[in-house]
Amino acid sequence: MQCELPSVNSNPEEIKKYLETYKNIAIVGASPNPIKDSNKVTKYMIEAGYNVFPIYPKEDEILGQKVYRSLLDIEDKVDIVVVFRKPEAVMPVAETCIKRGDVDVLWTQLQIVNNEAAKKAKENGIKVVQNLCIKVEHHNLLG
């Protein structure tokens, strides 16, 4: 997939509301490696008071949090799904969010854009944030 610009995205006021309102965050592609951005973001969001559910194929625990293999394995409500995967992996994540039926926001990190997946999520009542770092946005909007 070539680099694309987001045609579906939330504005800063909406993003601030999401970060103030929603507290359960699943991070698809969370890493146990402390030098990886996904690990740094996971740590930051935990420290900011969010309930974080790391999704990773190998570990049992990351930063003291139980690791899940799939979004479908999480029994609690998931408000925001943050994606640290390549753009072509976003569609299956969006479809899983739709299948869960309780996800409020699909959020893709910096340089991750999949407008087709974003459109499908939005058509199914899921808000979309693309190509933005949740850690940076939280810091900038809620400090």
Quote the number of domains for the chain.
Answer: 1
Checking if the pLDDT of 2 tops 60, the result is: no
Which pLDDT band, with edges at 50, 70 and 90, does 3 fall under?
A: low
Show the CA angle centred on residue 104, arms to residues 82 and 12, nearest 5°.
70
Helix (H, G, I), strand (E, B) or coil at 48: coil
Question: Does residue 3 fall inside a structural domain?
Answer: no
Query: Which class for 61: exposed (0-12), middle (13-18), buried (19 or more C-beta within 10 A)?
Result: exposed
The mean predicted confidence, pLDDT, of the chain is 95
Q: 0.85 exceeded by the pTM?
A: yes
Checking if the pLDDT of 12 tops 50, the result is: yes
Question: Does residue 57 fall inside a structural domain?
Answer: yes
Write out the residue range of the structural domain in which residue 29 sits: 12-142
Question: Does residue 4 fall inside a structural domain?
Answer: no
What percent of the chain has a predicted confidence (pLDDT) above 70? 98
CATH number at residue 18: 3.40.50.720
For residue 35, the 8-state DSSP code is T
Question: Does residue 127 fall inside a structural domain?
Answer: yes
| Rounded Cα gap, residues 25 and 58, in angstroms | 19
How do residues 42-78 score in pLDDT, each as one tens digit?
A: 999 999 999 999 999 999 999 999 999 999 999 999 9
Instruction: For residues 129-143, give the mean pLDDT.
Output: 95
Question: Does residue 116 fall inside a structural domain?
Answer: yes
Question: Does residue 107 fall inside a structural domain?
Answer: yes
